[in-house]
Amino acid sequence: MSFKNILLEKKDGVAEIAINKPPLNILDLEVIQELNEALENVKKDDTVSIVVLRGAGERAFSAGVDIRDHLPEKVQELLEAFHKIFFSLKELDRPTIAVVDGYALGGGCEVAAACDIIIASEKSAFGQPEIDAGVFPPPATVLFPKLIGRRKTLELILTGDRIDAKEAERIGLVNKVVPAIELQNTVDELVGKLRAKSPIVLRLTRKAVYQAFDLDFEDGLAAVTDIYLKSLMKSEDAVEGLKAFLEKRKPVWKGK
Domain ranges of the chain: 6-195, 199-246
Distances (CA, A) of 216 to 114, 116, 132, 149, 222: 22, 21, 36, 17, 10
Is 69 a residue whose pLDDT tops 90?
A: no
pLDDT given at position 70: 74
The CATH number assigned to the domain with range 6-195 reads 3.90.226.10
Region 229-233: mean pLDDT is: 95
pLDDT tens readout for residues 141-160: 999 999 999 999 999 999 99
CA dihedral of residues 144, 199, 100, 168 (deg, nearest 10): 40
Q: What is the mean pLDDT of the chain?
A: 95
pLDDT given at position 1: 64
Using a pLDDT cut of 70, give the percent of the chain over it. 100
pLDDT given at position 255: 87
pLDDT tens readout for residues 20-41: 999 999 999 999 999 999 999 9
Is 133 a residue whose pLDDT tops 70?
A: yes
Distances (CA, A) of 95 to 48, 84, 238, 245: 10, 18, 18, 24
Active site residues: 110, 130
Is 129 a residue whose pLDDT tops 90?
A: yes
Region 231-251: mean pLDDT is: 94
